[in-house]
Structure 1
Amino acid sequence: MSAVPEAPVLPETLVGIEGVSRRFGDVTALDDVTLDIRQGEFFALLGPSGCGKTTLLRILAGFESPDSGTVTLDGADLLSRPAHRRPVNLMFQSYALFPHMTVAKNVAYGLEREGLARAEVASRVREVLATVGLGEQANRRPHQLSGGQRQRVALARAIVKRPRLLLLDEPLSALDKKVRAEMQLELKRLQHEVGITFVVVTHDQEEAMSLADRIAVLDGGRVQQVDAPVRLYERPGTAFVAGFIGDNNLFEGTAAGGGLSVPGLGTLPAEGGFAAGAPALLGVRPESIRLGETGTLRGVVADVSFYGGVSHIAVRVPGHDRPILVAAQGPTRVRAGAEVALGWSASDAVLIAR
């Protein structure tokens, strides 16, 4: 008799957020938000401007108080502790470095304010500057550094105090695309190396997907879905998540045997579990759609573009109100004006409650 494999042990919850709401006059910034953030994970708060993610970050940091709800850290009430007494650090979007201080002095500032011994401060500053790869820049001032290096100084200053929780507010938004990609890898490496729980606020899907172990997608102050990046992409749980995370082709109709019944288009293949006749959306990603001689739908190619090793093809299908997007690896022989058939596997499409 074979042994039953043990279920994986999940890390313990570090931060528990329960029923948190915050209003500013007539505006509801957070509406009954409940989340758990686990020890040692890289957690992202993702959503459009005004979705409430920065308000939640400020509540964790102690700069804002909720109207209702609880926040705990290691099971103890966090809200009753003033900002300066929380084992939490916030790395600002602007980095907020002192221009007249050297890199080493910027990093040492918080430790010196705590009254640590000079030798202890020097040792910890050397250690953290080596970790972020800035040991040779210790005596430079911020204006002598590149944008990526200034970002590392801000990160070093945040982690040198060894907080239980590090909050990052749009940490890479000031960097150009190439440096941002490098710093995404660097942030992930550092997070694993120092073992601190990171919570990042961003509106950049690519940033959240590349950095986070789990992502909470917010919209209108509400949590839409919390999941690992791949799961969010492949199995969005709401219409908002399906449209917000990456490119998606969405069809509106009613659940039917084998997929979704769409007026004017017939039954489109998808795996469901929905009761027949239930209103639903079908989502299928551009890379899951095949072009060929036969398929579920037929249309005319409206546009073809090539970028980054992928061909992007837009196809107009009679009866559908927007072009269907198709992504194909490498250059394509398909040209605008060509008649094509579109198809996909039921397992590559997802049904979403409407």
Structure 2
Amino acid sequence: MLKIKLSQSVPMPIQINLECKPGELHALVGPSGSGKTTVLRTIAGLRQPNSGKIECNSETWFEGDDSGGAHKSLSAAQRSCGFLFQQYALFPHLNALENVCIPLQNSGLNPNERKNIAREWLGQMGIGELAERMPHQLSGGQQQRVALARALARKPKILLLDEPFSAIDTPTRQSLYKTLAELRKDLNIPILLVTHDLREADLLADQITVIDQGIGLQTAAPQTLFQKPRNSRVAELVGISNMFHGVFDAGSLTWDGCKQIFSVADKGKIPPKARVAWVIPQSGLSIHNIPSNISVPAVVEKMSSLGQIAAIQLRLEGSQNTIEWEASSAEVRRLGMGVGSQMHIELDGKQIHIMPLRPINDPRRFIDH
């Protein structure tokens, strides 16, 4: 189990609290410069926070507070971390086998034992036959596999991945996803992945933490995060397209620019007559070509085809609000839908998720006190 509670002011403010279980993959997502890599480097001992605690398998790697500084801080060499960098960081003058041997230098093993372990890891990565090749003789995906073998050669207690798939092509990335998924079963260690790709996080992660300006805004399973973001800033950062504003009062939600009023469960967390942001998932939308007593009229403004899936943008009549909807090509044909078509949208109030509407320029205001 990896437990992290960090607070620091330089080189950038960081305030984050998360846990990662053995065998679990935890993704850190957020905009560029939000502090994702700084968090990894702090865990690895390459930076020291002002206060907080880093604990791995019940061993304290760092503990300190603002008043007394660090009470305990293991060096990077003392922390058992496997770190996979975005740019691979292979030594160009060493072949693949020699690169993987590097972290085993001070292990107490003799040279032959180190080489045997390195060969085993290269074999697990599916590139055992490339052991004698130099980095410049390897493709980007092959270099990344060598770097991953090197990160795991000393059997670390945690694995830190800093955007490891961003510089490789899509087919190679898919292959590495599969390799990582297979490794997780055998490694049974916490894995932290920094990524800017939300699809990647959704595909690989058990838990996702959204970071903005160094602040952990929300930690949740992917499905929860995308359907029930904590606030409007989280919804914005995870790319939820159907986010709107309105007023919530005792279970009734109005929609800015629309006469429709929705009945939404009141969980007692929103004060009366509060301005809110709200989202609705695709499963909460249905489109019809005839009106009903609960439908909202709209006009198809844009359509684009993505294989067998059509992405459609509809604008509510008499409003600036637009709704994004995805449907199969067969459904589009059944509805006789085209640009300019009059349609009628029904929203399932049970699937509407309301959130506090808070300023987005100071993410520290999102922290629950």
- TM > 0.5: yes
Deviation at 1:242, TM superposition (A): 1.8
TM norm structure 2: 0.85
What does the per-residue CA deviation read over 1:138-182, in whole Å, with 9 as the maximum and x for residues that have no partner?
222222222211111110000011100111111001011222222
Amino acid at match of 1:239: S
Amino acid at match of 1:179: T
Match of 1:167 in 2: 160
Residue among 258, 264, 267 paired with 2:261:
267
Question: Residues 170 and 135 from structure 1, CA distance in 2 versus in 1: closer, same or farther, beyond 3 angstroms?
Answer: same
State the alpha-carbon separation in 1 of the partners of residues 216 and 128 from structure 2.
41
Match of 1:316 in 2: 315
Deviation at 1:303, TM superposition (A): 0.6
Match of 2:280 in 1: 284
Amino acid at match of 1:167: L
Question: Residues 56 and 267 from structure 1, CA distance in 2 versus in 1: closer, same or farther, beyond 3 angstroms?
Answer: same
Identity of aligned residues (%): 34
Question: Residues 185 and 283 from structure 1, CA distance in 2 versus in 1: closer, same or farther, beyond 3 angstroms?
Answer: same
1:29 matches 2:32? no
Aligned to 1:90, the other structure's residue is in SS state: strand
State the alpha-carbon separation in 1 of the partners of residues 173 and 240 from structure 2.
22
Match of 1:86 in 2: 79
* Structure 1, unaligned runs of 5 or more: 1-13
Deviation at 1:272, TM superposition (A): 4.3
Deviation at 1:88, TM superposition (A): 1.0
What does the per-residue CA deviation read over 1:230-254, in whole Å, with 9 as the maximum and x for residues that have no partner?
1112222221222222433112112
Residue among 55, 67, 70 paired with 2:53:
70
Question: Structure 2 matches for 1:330-341, cutoff 5 A?
Answer: 330=329, 332-333=332-333, 334-341=337-344
1:345 matches 2:309? no
What does the per-residue CA deviation read over 1:259-289, in whole Å, with 9 as the maximum and x for residues that have no partner?
5212431313544425552332220134542
1:96 matches 2:95? no
Deviation at 1:226, TM superposition (A): 0.7
Aligned to 1:155, the other structure's residue is in SS state: helix
Question: Structure 2 matches for 1:172-211, cutoff 5 A?
Answer: 172-211=165-204
Match of 2:2 in 1: 15
Question: Structure 2 matches for 1:214-293, cutoff 5 A?
Answer: 214-256=207-249, 259-265=252-258, 266-268=260-262, 270-274=264-268, 276-286=272-282, 288-292=284-288, 293=290
Aligned to 1:23, the other structure's residue is in SS state: coil
State the alpha-carbon separation in 1 of the partners of residues 252 and 77 from structure 2.
54
What does the per-residue CA deviation read over 1:192-238, in whole Å, with 9 as the maximum and x for residues that have no partner?
22223211111111111111111111112211111111111222222
Aligned to 1:94, the other structure's residue is in SS state: coil
Aligned to 2:172, the other structure's residue is in SS state: helix
Match of 2:34 in 1: 51
Contact 2:20 2:191 in 1 (8 A): no
Aligned to 1:241, the other structure's residue is in SS state: helix
Contact 1:29 1:50 in 2 (8 A): no
Contact 2:302 2:314 in 1 (8 A): yes
1:298 matches 2:325? no
State the alpha-carbon separation in 1 of the partners of residues 249 and 343 from structure 2.
25
TM norm structure 1: 0.88
Contact 1:256 1:267 in 2 (8 A): no
Deviation at 1:305, TM superposition (A): 0.3
Question: Residues 258 and 336 from structure 1, CA distance in 2 versus in 1: closer, same or farther, beyond 3 angstroms?
Answer: farther
State the alpha-carbon separation in 2 of the partners of residues 316 and 73 from structure 1.
51
Question: Residues 264 and 323 from structure 1, CA distance in 2 versus in 1: closer, same or farther, beyond 3 angstroms?
Answer: closer
State the alpha-carbon separation in 2 of the partners of residues 138 and 350 from structure 1.
53
* Structure 2, unaligned runs of 5 or more: 63-72, 358-369
Question: Residues 327 and 256 from structure 1, CA distance in 2 versus in 1: closer, same or farther, beyond 3 angstroms?
Answer: farther
State the alpha-carbon separation in 2 of the partners of residues 338 and 117 from structure 1.
74
Match of 1:131 in 2: 124
Deviation at 1:258, TM superposition (A): 5.2
Contact 2:242 2:323 in 1 (8 A): yes
State the alpha-carbon separation in 2 of the partners of residues 38 and 138 from structure 1.
33
Deviation at 1:341, TM superposition (A): 0.9
Aligned CA RMSD, in angstroms, stands at 2.0
Q: Say which is worse superposed, 115-124 or 76-85, in terms of deviation.
A: 115-124
Contact 2:82 2:158 in 1 (8 A): yes
Question: Residues 101 and 92 from structure 1, CA distance in 2 versus in 1: closer, same or farther, beyond 3 angstroms?
Answer: same
Question: Residues 195 and 220 from structure 1, CA distance in 2 versus in 1: closer, same or farther, beyond 3 angstroms?
Answer: same
State the alpha-carbon separation in 2 of the partners of residues 321 and 64 from structure 1.
47
State the alpha-carbon separation in 1 of the partners of residues 51 and 301 from structure 2.
51
Question: Residues 201 and 320 from structure 1, CA distance in 2 versus in 1: closer, same or farther, beyond 3 angstroms?
Answer: farther
Contact 1:20 1:34 in 2 (8 A): no
4+ aligned runs moved over 6 Å, structure 1 = none
State the alpha-carbon separation in 1 of the partners of residues 220 and 275 from structure 2.
24
Aligned to 1:78, the other structure's residue is in SS state: strand
State the alpha-carbon separation in 2 of the partners of residues 235 and 87 from structure 1.
35
Contact 1:303 1:336 in 2 (8 A): yes
Match of 2:138 in 1: 145
